[in-house]
A and B are shown apart, each in its own frame.
Chain A
């Protein structure tokens, strides 16, 4: 009897859990982001980190203070190369604005929700903050901490965001659906009819990655492309190069020439390409991201490729917004949608560079900033 009730209890909690879990297939958001991709950005030309796509404006006169300002930043962590580049870029931006910034305090949460919550509390109680910038580790867990912070000082969030409406503005490039759309549309356009396409994903359950895959599934369904293997769930690589290469090699062994490779992030894209090299096959149509190793491989091998981006220049925008808010200047909001440029054959030359490290993200807006390029890893 007890055994049976335990089983029923487990089944119910499983159902409840899946009902409460986030919905990664929101058709309204998908449509919205598809429209944003077509929209022209407003703002200073040549500075996409200061531009915005539509949206409203937030009046920040009530936050106006005399400078120079004390900025505080709660960072989810620097646990992956994207965040490392973003963090470096943010520090450079602080240098650019050092006339207005008296103090810049950072708390690194090392990828842990509970640490980030206590970091935010510590920053608030230190009294050293005129404004708090938060890059949340996970959406739901950090919402209460952000709401508490909003009561004391103005808050700006960027990247993952929370479900709270209280921050002055939330900065984010268009989003996951847009990333997935750009890559999938390019592949669908360039793969021959009936061509073989595989989808490589890092891991399940991460909102930014799940929305990318969900968008790609829609586009592939629209264009009549069937993704091989993985029960239409893609293949998970854990972001590991050797695993990616082995998975692709196994597909090649099973199916022969693969025509297209869709990836939800570009860090292991060159590993996927190498699997084709080692098998002596021609390169597939592929989407990567703005990492230098992918861009270099693209240029060297004249690939049919596209690089949708999730620009690291949003880390600059966070500082720019913070200073503007404290000066009482209006900022785009409540959501500041940054443009999400893709790198194509047309503008590849602008972004590719042999000097920068392999996992440097080219769409960082860092050319011309203090310390470029040494600060981003180039040895003299």
Chain B
């Protein structure tokens, strides 16, 4: 019996490279371009500011991932962000003592929104894209009706610290924005839930093959509801960061849900469920943020900027999908 030489596996660097998801390559390339425009980007301060800016999108994308992996879509996140920011400004109304109460209240609103979405999807069997589209409209309407059309009230500093404050004189990192701390906690928590608990495994199974999951005993309806609640809570957190960063505005959340879905697809999440990873989604969100920065630096007029952004997204998504077919 001779051992054929062909059965010995050779070390193939190309194959190794192909196994790394393209989102990471795109991220490295874009960060490189940003550094060309702004050499101070690769300093600890530059990186920390970049992470602070990307934090809201990262957090929303991870929340959206739970819903996407479970087989649904959540289009209501942008409006929930707007409601969070406008609602906080109205409830706090310049009184810093009310900040924590307002934060608790917006989390409660988020939980109610996620619960509502989940119940309608699971029990009334309405497709999630329709339910959350309705939620997108109603939440935005509530935010505008409540505030009378324009932001009322300011957000005091103890609320804005989450989005805006930066701790200085930290060894090695030099500066540490509070938003980055929130980001790290959120990412760690979600990564543990998704990759390290049974619940995370169940979300994957529910998205991959809901019928099989149900037959195998998984409580599919409950899992979907929890996924919507997680995504809503992530939107509220992102809203607190965004409101803190720039102050109240009536269109603060616009477009976030679509950016979150784009970040997910860039990061390898399978639309309609079954596959995803927190690290990939974070890479996707960072890539999108870097892309926006590059377009800012290039100084393109807005319509051209939108066209470039759309084209890059389509190419990236198409490549991701094809890659799965080859791999």
A and B found bound together: yes
Interface residues of A (CB under 8 A from B): 78-81, 83-85, 203-204, 229-231, 233, 235-236, 238-242, 244-247, 249-250, 253-254, 268, 270-271, 274, 278, 293, 357-359, 377, 379
- Chain B 35-80 interface residues, beta-carbon cutoff 8 Å to A: 37-38, 40-41, 46, 49, 53
From B41, B152, B166, B299, residue with most partner A Cβ within 10 Å: B299
| Contact in complex: A240, B249 (CB < 8 Å) | yes
| Contact in complex: A236, B246 (CB < 8 Å) | no
Residues A241 and B252 in contact in the complex (CB < 8 Å), given A79-B149, A203-B302, A253-B46: yes
| Contact in complex: B299, A242 (CB < 8 Å) | no
**Which residue in B53, B149, B166, B297 is a CB contact (below 8 Å) of A78?**
B149
Residues A357 and B247 in contact in the complex (CB < 8 Å), given A204-B302, A253-B40, A253-B41: no
Residue B116, interface by CB 8 Å: no
Chain A residues near B158 (CB, 8 Å)?
none
| Contact in complex: B242, A84 (CB < 8 Å) | no
**Which residue in B148, B246, B293 is a CB contact (below 8 Å) of A245?**
B246
In the complex, what distance in Å separates the CA atom of A80 from the CA atom of B301?
23
| Contact in complex: B150, A230 (CB < 8 Å) | no
Chain A residues near B41 (CB, 8 Å)?
253
Chain B residues near A359 (CB, 8 Å)?
150-151
Chain A residues near B46 (CB, 8 Å)?
253
Residues A230 and B38 in contact in the complex (CB < 8 Å), given A79-B149, A357-B153: no
| Contact in complex: A81, B301 (CB < 8 Å) | no
In the complex, what distance in Å separates the CA atom of A242 from the CA atom of B163?
11
Contact flags (1/0) for B4-15 with A, using CB distance below 8 Å?
A: 000000000000
Of chain A, the residue at the smallest CB distance from B93 is A379
Chain A residues near B249 (CB, 8 Å)?
240-242, 268
In the complex, what distance in Å separates the CA atom of A358 from the CA atom of B150?
9
Residues A235 and B299 in contact in the complex (CB < 8 Å), given A242-B242, A254-B38: yes
| Contact in complex: A242, B49 (CB < 8 Å) | no
| Contact in complex: B252, A240 (CB < 8 Å) | yes
| Contact in complex: A242, B153 (CB < 8 Å) | no
Chain A residues near B296 (CB, 8 Å)?
235, 246-247, 250
Chain B residues near A242 (CB, 8 Å)?
242, 245-246, 249, 252
Complex A-B: 23 CB contacts under 8 Å: A80-B149, A81-B151, A84-B148, A203-B302, A230-B299, A230-B301, A236-B302, A238-B302, A240-B249, A241-B247, A241-B252, A245-B246, A249-B49, A249-B53, A250-B293, A250-B297, A254-B38, A268-B249, A270-B247, A293-B154, A357-B152, A359-B151, A379-B93
Residues A254 and B297 in contact in the complex (CB < 8 Å), given A204-B303, A241-B249, A274-B246: yes
| Contact in complex: A358, B299 (CB < 8 Å) | no
In the complex, what distance in Å separates the CA atom of A329 from the CA atom of B265?
66
Residues A278 and B150 in contact in the complex (CB < 8 Å), given A242-B245, A253-B38: no
Residue B248, interface by CB 8 Å: yes
In the complex, what distance in Å separates the CA atom of A377 from the CA atom of B250?
16
Chain A residues near B53 (CB, 8 Å)?
246, 249
In the complex, what distance in Å separates the CA atom of A327 from the CA atom of B49?
63
Residue B140, interface by CB 8 Å: no
| Contact in complex: A239, B251 (CB < 8 Å) | yes
Q: How far, in Å, is B258 (CB) from chain A's closest CB? A: 15
From B149, B150, B152, B293, residue with most partner A Cβ within 10 Å: B150
Chain A to chain B: the 4 pairs with minimum beta-carbon distance, closest first: A81-B150, A241-B246, A236-B302, A242-B246
In the complex, what distance in Å separates the CA atom of A79 from the CA atom of B46?
37
In the complex, what distance in Å separates the CA atom of A358 from the CA atom of B153?
6
Residue B224, interface by CB 8 Å: no
In the complex, what distance in Å separates the CA atom of A246 from the CA atom of B291?
13
Chain B residues near A80 (CB, 8 Å)?
149-150
In the complex, what distance in Å separates the CA atom of A278 from the CA atom of B292?
20
Of chain B, the residue at the smallest CB distance from A245 is B246
| Contact in complex: A357, B38 (CB < 8 Å) | no
Chain A residues near B250 (CB, 8 Å)?
81
Of chain A, the residue at the smallest CB distance from B56 is A242
Of chain B, the residue at the smallest CB distance from A355 is B94
Q: How far, in Å, is A104 (CB) from chain B's closest CB? A: 19
In the complex, what distance in Å separates the CA atom of A247 from the CA atom of B305?
13
Given contacts A241-B249, A254-B297, A377-B152, 13 further A-B contacts (CB under 8 A): A81-B150, A81-B250, A231-B301, A253-B40, A254-B38, A268-B249, A270-B247, A271-B246, A274-B164, A293-B247, A358-B151, A358-B152, A358-B154
Chain B residues near A379 (CB, 8 Å)?
93
Q: How far, in Å, is A188 (CB) from chain B's closest CB? A: 22
In the complex, what distance in Å separates the CA atom of A241 from the CA atom of B163?
13
Q: How far, in Å, is B180 (CB) from chain A's closest CB? A: 14
Chain B residues near A239 (CB, 8 Å)?
251
| Contact in complex: B37, A254 (CB < 8 Å) | yes
**Which residue in A236, A247, A358 is a CB contact (below 8 Å) of B301?**
A236
In the complex, what distance in Å separates the CA atom of A81 from the CA atom of B37?
36
Q: How far, in Å, is A253 (CB) from chain B's closest CB? A: 5
Chain A residues near B242 (CB, 8 Å)?
242
In the complex, what distance in Å separates the CA atom of A270 from the CA atom of B154?
12
Of chain B, the residue at the smallest CB distance from A232 is B299
From B46, B164, B301, residue with most partner A Cβ within 10 Å: B301
| Contact in complex: A245, B245 (CB < 8 Å) | yes
Of chain B, the residue at the smallest CB distance from A278 is B164
Q: How far, in Å, is B30 (CB) from chain A's closest CB? A: 14
Chain B residues near A358 (CB, 8 Å)?
151-154, 247-248
- Chain B 236-259 interface residues, beta-carbon cutoff 8 Å to A: 242, 245-252, 254
Q: How far, in Å, is A85 (CB) from chain B's closest CB? A: 8
Chain B residues near A278 (CB, 8 Å)?
164, 166
Chain A residues near B248 (CB, 8 Å)?
358
Q: How far, in Å, is A64 (CB) from chain B's closest CB? A: 37
Chain A residues near B302 (CB, 8 Å)?
203-204, 236, 238
Chain A residues near B251 (CB, 8 Å)?
238-240
Q: How far, in Å, is B286 (CB) from chain A's closest CB? A: 15
| Contact in complex: B246, A81 (CB < 8 Å) | no
Q: How far, in Å, is A218 (CB) from chain B's closest CB? A: 20
Chain B residues near A240 (CB, 8 Å)?
249, 251-252, 254
In the complex, what distance in Å separates the CA atom of A78 from the CA atom of B250?
13
Chain A residues near B299 (CB, 8 Å)?
229-231, 235
Q: How far, in Å, is B125 (CB) from chain A's closest CB? A: 33
Of chain B, the residue at the smallest CB distance from A267 is B249
Of chain B, the residue at the smallest CB distance from A230 is B299
Chain B residues near A238 (CB, 8 Å)?
251, 302
